[in-house]
Structure 1
Amino acid sequence: MIAGFEYRRVPVADGVSLNVAVGGAGSPIVLLHGFPQTHLMWRYVAAELAADHEVVCPDLRGYGDSDKPVGDYSKRTMAADVVALARELGHERFALVGHDRGALVAFRAGLEYPEAVTHLACLDVLPTVDMWDVMRGVTAAVGFHLFLMAQPPGLPERLIGGSPDAFFGHFLDAWATEPMPAEVRAAYLDACRAAVPSIVADYRASAGVDLDHDRADRDAGNRLRMPVAVLQQDWDAALGFDAAALWGEWASDLRHTIVGFGHFMAEEAPAEVVRALRELLASP
C-alpha cells in the first residue's frame, strides 16, 4: 500500500470496480501503472506529487485488486474506466500519466477525451500502431511476450499459467537496472499470478482492436491536443527507430526526453520523473 493514501473501491462500469489509492489535495492527477506491476509502482512519485495535487492511483481493470471481468480489454474501454473513475471522484478535468500498459490507456484517453485530460505523460512506450510497425526482424525478440499473448485464447493462458512466477519474474528482473525490493517483487508476482487471463486479454487487444483504433486515428489525422511529455529509454540504439519522430506525429505540444535510467523509472528514478511531471503540469 502507498503510505498515507486512502484506499477505495470505485465503480466505473457495469460490474467493474477499481481498487484505487487516493492522497493529497489540489488539482487532480491520475497515475496508471504498467506491466507486470500494480498501482504500487507509483509509491514514491505519488507521495511527492501529493504535496500539491490530489493523486489518484488505480489498479487497471484486470490487474491488482481491481475487478477482472471476462471480455473487453480494449484501451478504449480501459480509458473509459479512467474517465469514469475521475468523475466518480468529482473531477471533470485531470492530468493523466501512464507507464507501459497504463501509458497506452492514457494515450487512448487523451485522444478520445481531450475535454477531460489537461496534460498527458507517457513513460517508456510507443503508441500501439507504431510499436507493431517497428517490431520486426531479430530485434523483435525483446518483445516476445507481445507475440505470445497476441495468440488466440487458450495457449498463452496455459503456457503462462503453468509457470507464472518464471514468466512475470523474467520481466521484473530483465527490465530492472537494479534489483527490485523483495517484498515489492513478491507483491507484483502475487498480483500477476491471480490475473493471467486478464493480463493476456489486455495484450491480445493490442494486437487487434487497439491496433484498429490507432490506425483509424492516424488515418484521420487525429492528434493529442493537450501538452504531452514522453520519457523513454534509448530505444533507437537497440531497435533502430526515432521514437521522438514517431511521437511527434501524434502531438504538437511535445516534450520528448531520452532518459538514462531503466524501464521501471518511477521506482528507480522517482525524483527525475517527478521533475518532468512538474514541468509538464506547469504548461498552460
Structure 2
Amino acid sequence: MSTASLGSLRLPDGFTDVFTSRLVELDGLRLHAVTGGEGPPLLLVGGWPQTWYAWREVMPALAREHTVVAVDSRGAGLSDKPDDGYDAGTLAGDLVALMAALGHDRFDVVGHDIGMWTGYALAADHPERVGRLAVVDAIIPGLTPAPPVFSPAAVSQRFWHFGFNRLTDLNEELVRGRERLFFGYQFAKKAATPDAIPAYAVDVYVDAIAADPRGLRASFGYYRALDETIAQNERRKKTRLTQPVLAVGGARYSGAMAAETMRLAADDVTEVVVDDCGHYVAEEQPARFTAILRDFLGVNPAAAVPQG
C-alpha cells in the first residue's frame, strides 16, 4: 500500500486528522481509497461521474462509529482504469478484495447511483461479506423494469445518458475537450437546484476524468458493460437478499424509485425520501443523510456480529 495526498482538496475541518488516502495493490489492479475512523467497517461506493470525494461531508460523522472506507472503483478517480471489468459483478469482486486487503472480511455497504448497482451485486454475490446494505437514489438495470424507447419527455430527461454513454466511440469524441460542459450538465440537472453541487466539487470530478487519457473511456465503461450487468442481475434476482436494506431517494429526483427497485430483490427494505433534495443526497443534504445512515447502521451493525 502507498499513500496519496489529500492536501489539494477542499475538505471539512479536521478531515486529514482522521482520514488517510491510500493506493491498495490487489491482484493486477490498484484501487484508491480514503480510510479512517474506528468501529465496524463501512464501505462507501460512489456514483457516476464522481469519486470518493462525494462522501466528504458525511465521512467525519460516520467515522466516529465506523471504520470508513470511501473507494474509487476501478475506472474512477485515482484507481486503475483497465480496458474491461466494468460489469457489476467484477466491480463487486474488486471491492471484496479491497476490503480483505484492508483487513475487513465482513462489512456494511452504502452505494449511490452506479454504486447502487455494485452494492446490490456485493450483497447478492457475497452475502457472507455484506451485513447491511444502504442504496441511494438510483434504479438497477436488469432488476428495475426498463422504460420504453418512446418515454415521456420527463423520463427521457432523466435517463437519456444511458443510451449516450453506451455508444462505442462517438460519445468520447463529442465530450473530449467539453468535459466541463457535459459533466457539469449532469450535476446541474440532477441536483435539486443547478448550484447545489458547488463548482469546486464539480471541478474535482471533471478534472479526475479529463486529466487522465483513459478517463473518458473508463467513465463510459460502466454503461458499455450494461448488457453483462443486466444479464447478471436477471440471475441475481432469482434469489432474494437476506440483508436489511435501506433505500434513500431524493424527493426531487428518484424519490421512491430506489425503494421500489429494492423491494423487487429484498424483503427487509426501509424507505426514506429526503425532501428538498435531488440525486446527490450525501452532498445536498449531508446532515440529514448522516442521521438516516446512523439510524440504520446503528441497529446491531452486521459487521460486528460474530462470524461462524
TM-score, length-scaled by structure 2: 0.84
Equivalent residues in 2 for 1:1-284, closer than 5 Å: 1=6, 3-4=15-16, 5-14=19-28, 16-131=29-144, 133-134=146-147, 136=149, 137-138=151-152, 139-151=155-167, 153-178=168-193, 179=195, 180-193=197-210, 194=212, 195-206=215-226, 208-218=227-237, 221-234=238-251, 244-260=259-275, 261-284=277-300
Q: CA deviation at 1:37?
A: 1.1
| d(CA) in 1 for partners of 2:221, 2:33 | 21
Q: CA deviation at 1:68?
A: 0.5
Give SS of 2:57's match. Answer: helix
Assess, with a 3 A threshold, how the Cα gap between structure 1 residues 266 and 52 changes in structure 2: closer, same or farther.
same
Assess, with a 3 A threshold, how the Cα gap between structure 1 residues 65 and 243 changes in structure 2: closer, same or farther.
closer
Write the letter of the residue equivalent to 2:231: D
Write the letter of the residue equivalent to 1:273: F
TM-score, length-scaled by structure 1: 0.91
Give SS of 1:230's match. Answer: strand
Are the counterparts in 1 of residues 252 and 279 from structure 2 also a CA contact under 8 Å? no
| d(CA) in 2 for partners of 1:177, 1:237 | 11
1:227-250 deviations in Å (ceiling 9; x for gaps):
100001348999xx9653432121
| d(CA) in 1 for partners of 2:161, 2:249 | 20
1:161-195 deviations in Å (ceiling 9; x for gaps):
25222111101211222422232221111012231
Write the letter of the residue equivalent to 1:161: R
Assess, with a 3 A threshold, how the Cα gap between structure 1 residues 108 and 54 changes in structure 2: closer, same or farther.
same
Q: Report which of the two has the higher share of helix.
A: 1
Are the counterparts in 2 of residues 20 and 59 from structure 1 also a CA contact under 8 Å? yes
Assess, with a 3 A threshold, how the Cα gap between structure 1 residues 7 and 131 changes in structure 2: closer, same or farther.
same
| d(CA) in 1 for partners of 2:251, 2:272 | 9
| d(CA) in 1 for partners of 2:113, 2:90 | 17
Runs of 4+ deviating beyond 4 Å: 234-238
Q: CA deviation at 1:116?
A: 0.3
Give SS of 2:176's match. Answer: helix
Stretches of structure 2 lacking an aligned partner (at least 5 in a row): 1-5, 301-308
Write the letter of the residue equivalent to 1:270: P
RMSD: 2.0
| d(CA) in 1 for partners of 2:254, 2:205 | 29
1:74-117 deviations in Å (ceiling 9; x for gaps):
11111011111110000100000011111111111010011000
Are the counterparts in 1 of residues 43 and 108 from structure 2 also a CA contact under 8 Å? yes
Give SS of 1:159's match. Answer: helix
| d(CA) in 1 for partners of 2:22, 2:148 | 39
Assess, with a 3 A threshold, how the Cα gap between structure 1 residues 120 and 144 changes in structure 2: closer, same or farther.
same
1:116-137 deviations in Å (ceiling 9; x for gaps):
0001000001121244513641
In percent, how many aligned pairs have the same letter?
32
Write the letter of the residue equivalent to 1:157: E
Give SS of 1:143's match. Answer: helix
